[in-house]
Structure 1
Amino acid sequence: MSRRSAGGRALTPTARVRRLRRRITALFALTSAAGLVTMAVLAVRSDDARWREQLDQAMNLDTTQAIGLLAYDGDDRLDTTDLVGTMDTGCPQLTVLSVPRDGSTGPVVDHAGKDPCLVGRPADVRAVAEAALRHEDVVAVDGRSVDGRPVRLFAEPFFAPDAEGPTGRDGAVVTLYESTEAMAEHRRTTWLLSAGCAVLVVLSAAVGHMLSGRAIRPALTVLGQQEAFLADAAHDLRTPVASLRMLAETALRGDTDSTEALRRTMRLADGMGGLVDGLLTRARLMTGVQTLAREPLRLDQLVEAVVADAPSEGHRVTVRAEETVVVADPDLVRRAVANLLGNALTHGHAPGAPAEVRIEIAREGREGVVTVTDAGPGLPPGVADALFERFRSGSGSTGLGLSIASWVAHAHGGSLTAASGGPGGPAGRGGPGGARFVLRLPAAAS
């Protein structure tokens, strides 16, 4: 079952690979985001607990010192004289509350600082004191001052000396610190962590997109090569297959001589065999499946052998060669030269006239050079580079020969160029001058 896009259309293999890349990128970003957000949340909570703990430690020192300055008179009544003389500075606010042991009344304020810099709401102060007495332990809570500023309230209980009867009074010392600055610093830390997480998530998405792109690049390359191969095969096999079908239908109707039909069938079969061979060679070169069997070879002898094996059919091929040794794959070079010669024999002459092709083999510096010149109509301006692209064919050819020859040249580290042959053509007969193809291959060391 084929996979489809949101619009209901079937996705191509390339589209599926690209969608996979987007999903990998999203998964990478989400995974990074989950880890970063988790770490940020833990860091924010840790910072929140830290500034509260720091305030609580400072207030705990104040309440402990204040409790040490409390005393009881002979009637077990609370005496705050030493506390008032020592710690009544107004900042932080110190409040001493007490409550009878029999629970007959609620907390009573025994002392409150004079002109405190910060005044807590009475209900909050009483509530934290009652909580400290109830739990018999220190209690710290967040609250608000009477003018609305955020504060931290800390209460520490104290207990009256044992006395007969429920006449003793237990109590708690409550201190107040303003937490505006600490909370602002905490908010800044939170915003910085949030912004840092956002930036890191974006960066991780970008890195994930880049890495996923590198990961799927070979797959996209293979898919592109596969699609190009299939397109080449469909494009170039369509015509000979149609010709075979028409020939078979003609033979079945008895409209042609059976011997002639068989001859034409064999020619078509040979052409299709060569076409399939060319397609496979080009596909192997593109994908790197076919490795180069480099070895020293006589380029002049190889070219002469190719010319000798080529069907002349009345054409004239002239070879001028000097001894030239190159390091290359013999089979691939033979195919490249044969393709250049076949192209010259096919296109390098006027209609109805025999082709005149001149091939020159020479060594130029560190390269062995094969020059194929014909007497055809020449090359139109601006099409020399396009000749080596697939589907760039003339009548009667597959369009793969020059493409394969170019691939062979570049696979060996050489080059293949095309240009007009110059005035007079190879045979010096005047006219447009034909076309010249120059194949360069690395020469063997002298």
Structure 2
Amino acid sequence: MTSRPLTPTARVRRLRLRITALFALTSAVGLIGMAVFAVQSDDRRWRQQLDQTMSQDTSWAIGLLVTDEDDRLDARELAETMGTGCPPLTVLSVPRAKGADLHVDHAPRHPCLTVGAAAVRAAGEAAVRAEDTAASDRRTTDGRPVRLLSEPFYAPDAGEGEGPQGAIVTMTGTSDQRADHRRLLWLVAAACAVLICLSAAVGHLLSGRAIRPALAALRQQEAFLADAAHDLRTPAASLRTLAETALRGETDRTDVLRRTLRLADGMGGLVDGLLTRARLMSGVALEREPLRLDQLVEGVVDDTPAAGHRVSVETEVAVVVADPDLVRRAVANLLGNAFAHGHAPGEPADVRVTVTRDGTVTVEDAGPGLPPHVAKSLFDRFRRGSGSGSAGLGLSIAAWVAHAHGGALAVLPGEGGGARFALKLPPAVGSALTHP
């Protein structure tokens, strides 16, 4: 089973999801890296603090050790002066026989923390072997976590190169420190999760804003293609029918050519309207220039075939800054709409066109008028008049032209009962153009 290809809109939306995921992943990598660094730093910090505290105890204890005449250690002064029960202090000495285990010279009788003898000896041997302080993490016999620290000491008359005489091992509980570290770990993990989710939301919002123009362009393209297919389907079908009729010889050839010419003219107008709409929707910059709106309207009226309709024109000098081609198209659409719909069936239209100094073009007919529910949606694309074959783009293009220039197009009841369309364009400021 083959999968259906994605539409352009679906591909853009998938790209948005990928951008969001990439943004969240990048943030996650950075945040997790910093979180790991922070957690490891805290782990090292609390261990270093404990080691410093225990090292002070062992250094003080080493100063209280006494060696008798037989080079044997005497820890009585240490026990009497400092106490070795809490924190526990164990004194180990290096045996004279090589290969033997360290000898326990002093161990607390009632220590507050108890670990196995093997763990204490291992800590002492590590310090003696390294000739430096050694620390390790262990557990007491009842399962509580502790930190062991052993520090080597030397005989008073030890010469250069002579090894340690023994080591002192102490320990302290780490339950509180580990609990604080776990709380920090959970806090950092929760903060990372929240920040990653926030980053994903921000990335989704930003990517949405970034692809919004692309989606708008795709929607405009799809709407334009729909308009083109909708508007050209009927005349194309009519041309095909005429051609088939002519081939069968069922009608007069002259009549067929006349009807074909009318359809071709209509299709040309449709194509012009679609291209004008595409230009407006694509956001192409308008070619604005100062122009005499009254002269432009008079030219449009003169160039538009009246076909038996009556047109009266009243103008005042009006100067606007606008795109001449688009304004000409909008006025022609309003005039064509009046010719098509502003009269009773079988009667010519009576159209009145006025131009006022403030840049308003009014096209009023004496037709049946417009119901209120029709006037609200009159400027929507594909809106057709009653019984009309209009493409439904003329009035919508006129409205788009007005809005593109910062103006407006309104429809009101006419004085004679028909419809009155008012195209308002912003007048030019400080212009002194006059009639030639």
Q: What TM-score do you get using the length of structure 1 for normalisation?
A: 0.89
Q: What is residue 318 of structure 2 aligned with on the other side?
A: 324
Deviation of residue 121 (structure 1)?
A: 3.9
Given the alignment, which residue of 303, 309, 316 partners 1:315?
A: 309
Deviation of residue 294 (structure 1)?
A: 2.3
Given the alignment, which residue of 74, 88, 92 partners 2:69?
A: 74
CA distance in 2: counterparts of 1:18 and 1:357, whole angstroms? 50
Q: What is residue 445 of structure 1 aligned with on the other side?
A: 429
Equivalent residues in 2 for 1:41-120 (5 A)?
A: 41-88=36-83, 90-103=85-98, 106-113=101-108, 115-120=110-115
Check 1:104–1:282 CA distance in 2 against 1; reply closer, same or farther (3 A cut): closer
Alignment-mate amino acid for residue 222 of structure 1: A
Q: What is residue 379 of structure 1 aligned with on the other side?
A: 370
The answer on whether the counterparts of 1:357 and 1:375 sit within 8 Å (CA) in structure 2 is yes
Aligned residue pairs total 424
The answer to whether 1:393 aligns with 2:422 is: no
Q: What is residue 239 of structure 2 aligned with on the other side?
A: 244
Alignment-mate amino acid for residue 210 of structure 1: L
Q: Secondary structure at the match of 2:377?
A: helix
CA distance in 2: counterparts of 1:440 and 1:240, whole angstroms? 33
The answer to whether 1:225 aligns with 2:220 is: yes
Q: Secondary structure at the match of 2:176?
A: helix
Q: Secondary structure at the match of 1:211?
A: helix
Alignment-mate amino acid for residue 223 of structure 2: A
Q: Secondary structure at the match of 1:91?
A: coil
CA distance in 1: counterparts of 2:367 and 2:84, whole angstroms? 111
Alignment-mate amino acid for residue 42 of structure 2: D
Deviation of residue 114 (structure 1)?
A: 5.0
Bigger mean CA offset, 51-60 vs 69-78: 69-78
Q: Secondary structure at the match of 1:151?
A: strand
Deviation of residue 188 (structure 1)?
A: 2.2
Alignment-mate amino acid for residue 397 of structure 1: S
Q: What is residue 352 of structure 1 aligned with on the other side?
A: 346
Q: What is residue 419 of structure 2 aligned with on the other side?
A: 435
CA distance in 1: counterparts of 2:376 and 2:199, whole angstroms? 42
The answer on whether the counterparts of 2:133 and 2:149 sit within 8 Å (CA) in structure 1 is yes
The answer to whether 1:409 aligns with 2:402 is: yes
Equivalent residues in 2 for 1:141-160 (5 A)?
A: 141-159=136-154
CA distance in 2: counterparts of 1:8 and 1:62, whole angstroms? 74
Q: What is residue 297 of structure 1 aligned with on the other side?
A: 291
The answer on whether the counterparts of 1:384 and 1:417 sit within 8 Å (CA) in structure 2 is no
Deviation of residue 103 (structure 1)?
A: 4.8
CA distance in 2: counterparts of 1:64 and 1:162, whole angstroms? 18
CA displacement 1:333-372 (0-9 Å, x = unmatched):
1110100010111111122222121222213xxx311111
The answer on whether the counterparts of 1:100 and 1:169 sit within 8 Å (CA) in structure 2 is no
* Residue segments in structure 1 that go unaligned for 5+ positions in a row: 1-5, 426-432
The answer to whether 1:368 aligns with 2:362 is: no
CA displacement 1:270-320 (0-9 Å, x = unmatched):
11111111101110111122x322223222222222112211112112222
Q: What is residue 433 of structure 2 aligned with on the other side?
A: none
Deviation of residue 82 (structure 1)?
A: 2.6
The answer on whether the counterparts of 1:138 and 1:157 sit within 8 Å (CA) in structure 2 is yes
The answer on whether the counterparts of 2:399 and 2:409 sit within 8 Å (CA) in structure 1 is yes
Given the alignment, which residue of 18, 27, 30 partners 2:13?
A: 18
CA distance in 2: counterparts of 1:445 and 1:109, whole angstroms? 105
Alignment-mate amino acid for residue 392 of structure 1: R
Q: What is residue 419 of structure 1 aligned with on the other side?
A: 412
* Residue segments in structure 2 that go unaligned for 5+ positions in a row: 431-436
Q: Secondary structure at the match of 1:106?
A: coil
Q: What is residue 338 of structure 1 aligned with on the other side?
A: 332
Deviation of residue 379 (structure 1)?
A: 1.8
Deviation of residue 162 (structure 1)?
A: 8.3
CA distance in 1: counterparts of 2:250 and 2:48, whole angstroms? 106
Quote the RMSD (CA, aligned, Å). Answer: 2.3
Equivalent residues in 2 for 1:113-128 (5 A)?
A: 113=108, 115-128=110-123
Q: What TM-score do you get using the length of structure 2 for normalisation?
A: 0.91
Deviation of residue 132 (structure 1)?
A: 2.7
Q: What is residue 434 of structure 2 aligned with on the other side?
A: none
CA distance in 2: counterparts of 1:269 and 1:104, whole angstroms? 113
Deviation of residue 444 (structure 1)?
A: 2.3
Check 1:245–1:323 CA distance in 2 against 1; reply closer, same or farther (3 A cut): same
Alignment-mate amino acid for residue 386 of structure 1: S
Bigger mean CA offset, 330-339 vs 148-157: 148-157
The answer on whether the counterparts of 1:92 and 1:116 sit within 8 Å (CA) in structure 2 is yes
The answer on whether the counterparts of 1:29 and 1:208 sit within 8 Å (CA) in structure 2 is yes
Alignment-mate amino acid for residue 381 of structure 1: P
Check 1:259–1:169 CA distance in 2 against 1; reply closer, same or farther (3 A cut): closer
The answer on whether the counterparts of 2:131 and 2:164 sit within 8 Å (CA) in structure 1 is no
CA distance in 2: counterparts of 1:31 and 1:399, whole angstroms? 50
Alignment-mate amino acid for residue 413 of structure 2: S
Check 1:101–1:247 CA distance in 2 against 1; reply closer, same or farther (3 A cut): farther
The answer on whether the counterparts of 1:155 and 1:173 sit within 8 Å (CA) in structure 2 is yes
The answer on whether the counterparts of 2:95 and 2:103 sit within 8 Å (CA) in structure 1 is no
